[in-house]
């Protein structure tokens, strides 16, 4: 039976950050093109990876305008909120693997 292709097959869930108390909607993982981008990045940051799995949040600026989900704002989150996001999105194992690959790449570049 044919299956309709969706742009994004990932599931989402809403979580509340423990420090900021903001509601964040996160995907349950990455899609293939995001993994390709991470692998091609020399030093993928946690902020970059979180940006890829955060669908939306309810942070606003002083004029009550929604703030974009971007690396600059993610970088300003409290570390407890970042760690909570990583855990809730199931990124712990992926981040460990990405860091190991990044270290292996650096080592092979310095020994070449």
Give the integer Cα–Cα distance in Å for 20 and 84. 11
Where exactly are the structural domains of the chain?
A: 20-103
Given pLDDT bands bounded at 50, 70 and 90, which one contains residue 99? Answer: low
CA distance readout (Å), 103 to 16, 21, 42, 93: 33, 34, 10, 15
Give the integer Cα–Cα distance in Å for 72 and 68. 9
Instruction: Give the pTM.
Output: 0.79
Q: How many CA atoms lie within 13 A of 42 on its CB side?
A: 4
pLDDT at 47: 92
Give the integer Cα–Cα distance in Å for 17 and 77. 10
Length of the chain as a residue count: 112
């Amino acid at each position: 039976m044919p299956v309709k292709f969706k742009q994004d097959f990932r599931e989402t869930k809403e979580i509340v950050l423990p420090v900021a108390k903001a509601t964040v909607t996160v995907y349950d993982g990455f899609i293939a093109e995001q993994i390709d981008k991470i692998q091609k990045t020399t030093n993928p940051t946690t902020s970059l990876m979180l940006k890829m799995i955060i669908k939306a949040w309810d942070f606003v600026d002083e004029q009550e305008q929604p703030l974009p989900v971007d690396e600059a704002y993610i970088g300003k989150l409290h570390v407890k909120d970042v760690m909570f996001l990583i855990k809730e999105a199931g990124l712990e194992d992926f981040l460990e693997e990405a860091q190991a690959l990044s270290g292996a790449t650096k080592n092979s570049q310095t020994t070449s």
